[in-house]
Amino acid sequence: MKPKKRLAHEFVEFIPNVLEDGKIYVSMEYATVVHKCCCGCGKEVVTPLSPTDWKLIFNGKAISLHPSVGNWSFPCRSHYWIRDNTVMWAEQWSQARIDANRAHDRWMKERYFTEAEDAGALPIPAQSETTQPAEKSPWWKKWLPW
């Protein structure tokens, strides 16, 4: 088990171009939390905040993220929790478990947005009969440049 690591948090509007080691950046305006991977590999970790992604808790002194951060697409494949600005290392997952979790996440997102649309929570733009509907861009694409 790796030792616990403390992070400093900083609330920002825009994520800086150069990230500091040991610092976690929170942009409430863009509902995004970004930090360098806690294993030390230097990769940038982006955790979008939304009902179907991560949740942020700020208790006035420290932040926590839920659920855990699993960097499965990084060579390090690190897995950890961030609780009260402290990195708590989690167990490694098998590829089968990662695949199952990704499938579950996709299903939960689809279910969430379908239910929200059915409940009228998502606006549906009016269309004239003579125009074709515009192709929708997935909401997560705005984070791709990061």
Q: What is the pLDDT of residue 117?
A: 77
Q: What is the pLDDT of residue 46?
A: 97
Q: What is the pLDDT of residue 116?
A: 76
Q: What is the pLDDT along the chain (146 residues), one digit of tens a residue?
A: 687 899 999 999 999 999 999 999 999 999 999 999 999 999 999 999 999 999 999 999 999 999 999 999 999 999 999 999 999 999 999 999 999 999 999 998 899 888 877 777 665 555 444 444 455 555 555 555 54
Cα within 13 Å of Cα(136), Cβ side: 5
Q: What is the pLDDT of residue 10?
A: 98
Q: What is the pLDDT of residue 130?
A: 47
Q: What is the pLDDT of residue 120?
A: 72
Domain boundaries, the chain: 5-89
Look at residues 44, 43, 22, 18 and name the one whose alpha carbon lies nearest to residue 32.
44
**Pair 80, 93: CB distance under 8 Å:** no
CA 83 centroid distance within chain: 15
b/e burial code for range 60-88 (CB count within 10 A of at least 16 → b): eebbebeebbbbbeeeeebbbebbebebe
